[in-house]
Chains A and B, each alone.
Chain A
Amino acid sequence: MTTITKQNTTPAVHEADLRRVRNSGIKKVLGYAVLLIFAVIYLYPFAIQIATSFKDDPQAAAHPLSIIPNPFDLSAWKRMFGLTSDSSVPIMTWLGNSVLVTVIVTAARVFFDSLAGYALSRLHFRGRGFLFAAVLAVMSVPGVALLVPKFLIVTYLGIYDTYAAMIFPLLIDAAGVFIMKQFFDSVSVSIEEAARMDGAGVFRTFWSVVLPMARPALITLTILAFQGSWNEFSHFLVVTQSANHKTLITGLAGLTSGSLGAGTQFPLKMGAALLTTIPVAILFFTFQRYFVRGANEGGEKG
């Protein structure tokens, strides 16, 4: 085939074009088919989750695949929001804790991470190289090796089972510092140098000149910090114990793993899981492009 094509140029090119068009047609269909199949695999579980939270127990077991609850049953949601006599699922307490911790941690991370990232990138001081190496080293410590250590330190400090124990250790993350340092490395110094020449102090320059320029990176960092602290589990698991320090995530883990009394009660669990997903989902769909940037932060900058 190929040899023929090369010999008789004109008609063969025509033929090849046709074939290419046909091929690309097939390719397109195939491509869409693959994408659709995967999209179903990736999204259908969420649809089932939503639907199941509006079913009752027997229905959830009998029609697990259906995404149309029939009959429509609100009892799982009523139970979660305290509209029944049963108080075993104090969602509002969990929600309050989640929001509290997430807001503080996100704000702190955005501020402190960029502060430290800026210093590591721009300020000349002795020990900077060492500090940056330390940040890299810290990033490589696996989180699971820290469960017992964290428990030890918060107990040692006498803050076990307090909000302080939940919040303080999360105030700064090495990965965030790293991202900010990378970001500042990639932007030009000229504007801030001008500001410094005008006599602005280091912090003033940082606050009113550098930070406004860093908006895209800050948004990315905000998203990562929000998502990270909202979804955090193992840290809260080891540093708290009492019911009134539970977050949505640790509460849900308790529902799912512990005995909810009797029964599987999947609608309730799906509903609670859905509740933990909603804020992140809203954030995700609003700031999609920043999420993508987050996943590829260095990739796009490098």
Chain B
Amino acid sequence: MARRKSSIHGREGIAGWVFTAPMIIVLGLFLFVPVLMAFWVSLTNWAGNGNPFGGGETAKFVGASNYTDLFLKDGLTRSTFMQSIGNTFYYVLLVVPLQTLTSLFLALVVNNKLLRGKSFFRTAFYFPSVTSSIAISTVFLFLFSNSGAVNGFLKLFGITGPQWFADSRGLLHLILGLFGADNPSWAQGQIFGRTLWDWLAGPSVAMCVIIILAIWTTTGTFMLMFLAALQDLPVEVDEAAALDGVSAWQKFRLVTVPMLRPAIFLVVTLGLIGTWQVFDQIYVMGKGAPDNTTLTPAFLSYSQSFTSLKYGSGAAMAFVVFLIIVLLTWFQRRIMREDKKPGWWRRRSTLVGAASSGAAAAATPADSTSAAGAHR
């Protein structure tokens, strides 16, 4: 169909480059080049003084030592970094399933044909997703403060709420404590500079607030994705299932879930990517306090650079996070590729589109990724 008039195509050739030139310049200059620069800095000991690209004493080339220090060298940098990884691991482990289930549940309820006022509820659930993460975090700081609304609510039932933001005890530790385990001898082995017992802490009480915050702000977006998928479900299947007299639960398990598979995969992928990038909330809600239990690698990378003046180390951390996210996405894609159900390929464009807009919907800036949005 193309190549009808070469003159038109000649013009299109110029136009194509001219039209995309602003994009090439902005993304190239503020995304591609800086990433290369940061990679260089991650190989130096630059402390924020002088030119990082000039070599010399202020920016000595140190090879991969900023990277190896994160994993191999015993010290504060490694133990803090590993703690941030551990924190995030539990964060991901709780947030991703909970936000997926909650948003699916909300989508199913909102999608119920019997109920009215759908758009009101849809709006209500989606609204937290569009407001600024900083503003929401500020509100949560108040809600969960010692004399805040949540503890006030618990008091109605005679429960004394915890001091959310000051409580560094891990949930798993608390549970294990019920069984009498308190730093037992079997958990003293060191892994990357932290004892097994430390790794087993689970999210701290303070981290739970951030987990709740994340679920609360992201479910709206994901609910909309599920809703769109639900509305795409062919009506015939629904009717056939009704005629066969299967129960609602069976229908959900045998018909709805399999049909929603692509959407579920999408939401989980976006969740996995987004949860590794928490930054804003940490900045506002205590910068890692209490006891670094809310520290995330993203925030640590920032403070290591700008506060501790170890830019090389901070940049190295950022690249490790980058790598983790790339691996997770790659892993997800592998799983999806294996999922060779015929229906899936037809829906691929839908998926990619939704992925992009998931990002966009959650207000990502030019440079951030598809998924980050929901969490940032």
Contact = CB atoms under 8 A, between A and B. Distances in A.
A and B touch in the complex (CB under 8 A): yes
Interface of A: 2, 24, 27-28, 31-32, 34-35, 38-39, 41-43, 45-46, 48-49, 52, 60-65, 109, 112-113, 115-116, 118-120, 123-128, 131, 134-135, 138-153, 156, 168-179, 182, 196, 201-203, 206, 224, 227-235, 237-238, 249, 252-253, 255-257, 264, 266, 269-270, 272-274, 276-277, 280-281, 284-285, 288, 291-292, 294-302
Contacts of B127: 42-43, 46, 281, 284
Nearest to B124: A39
Interface in B94-142: 106, 109-110, 112, 114-115, 117, 119-128, 130-142
Contacts of A127: 16-17
Contact of B360 (A32, A171, A232, A294): A294
Interface stretch (B31-39, B72-80, B192-200, B250-258): B31-39
Contacts of A142: 273, 276-277, 321-322, 325, 368-369, 372
A182 to B, nearest CB: 5
Contacts of A32: 115
A115 B372 contact: no
B185 interface: no
Contact of B277 (A27, A143, A237): A143
A144 B305 contact: no
Nearest to A288: B123
Interface stretch (B7-15, B171-179, B203-211, B335-343): B7-15
Nearest to A32: B115
A254 B73 CA distance: 35
A35 B115 contact: yes
A65 B149 contact: yes
A37 B283 CA distance: 30
Interface string B1-42: 010000011011111110110111011011111110110010
Nearest to A289: B119
Given A35-B115, A112-B23, A233-B134, A145 B149 contact: no
B30 A169 contact: yes
A175 B125 contact: no
A147 B352 CA distance: 26
Contacts of B326: 140
A245 to B, nearest CB: 16
A295 B34 contact: no
A35 B224 CA distance: 15
Interface string B260-287: 0000000000000100110110011001
B152 A65 contact: yes
A170 B30 CA distance: 9
B356 A175 contact: yes
> Dominant SS at the B interface?
helix
B228 A148 contact: no
A43 B122 CA distance: 12
Interface hub of A24, A142, A227, A296 (most chain B Cβ within 10 A) = A142
B31 A141 contact: yes
Given A120-B20, A280-B131, A296-B228, A144 B351 contact: no
23 contacts: A42-B124, A64-B151, A119-B15, A146-B368, A147-B302, A150-B367, A151-B306, A152-B38, A153-B29, A173-B365, A224-B357, A230-B132, A232-B363, A235-B365, A252-B135, A257-B287, A276-B134, A295-B358, A297-B353, A298-B350, A298-B353, A299-B353, A301-B353
Nearest to B46: A152
B344 interface: no
Interface string B219-235: 01100110111001000
B370 interface: yes
Residues of B in contact with A, size category: 35 or more
Contacts of B8: 196
A95 B117 CA distance: 35
B202 interface: no
Contacts of B23: 112-113, 115-116, 135, 172, 177
B318 interface: yes
A116 B20 contact: yes
Contacts of A150: 30, 34, 367
B114 A144 contact: no
Nearest to A253: B134
A27 B114 contact: yes
A148 B315 contact: yes
A174 B114 contact: no
A291 B361 contact: yes
Contacts of A134: 27
Contacts of A295: 126, 221, 224-225, 228, 357-358, 361
A226 to B, nearest CB: 9
A175 B329 contact: no
A298 B355 contact: yes
A47 B23 CA distance: 41
Given A65-B149, A253-B283, A280-B131, A125 B16 contact: yes
Contacts of A46: 127, 139
B35 A143 contact: no
A115 B22 contact: yes
Contact of A138 (B31, B119, B350): B31
Nearest to A203: B15
Contacts of B132: 230-231, 233, 249, 252, 276-277, 280
A186 to B, nearest CB: 9
Contact of A257 (B14, B35, B284, B350): B284
B293 to A, nearest CB: 17
B15 A232 contact: no
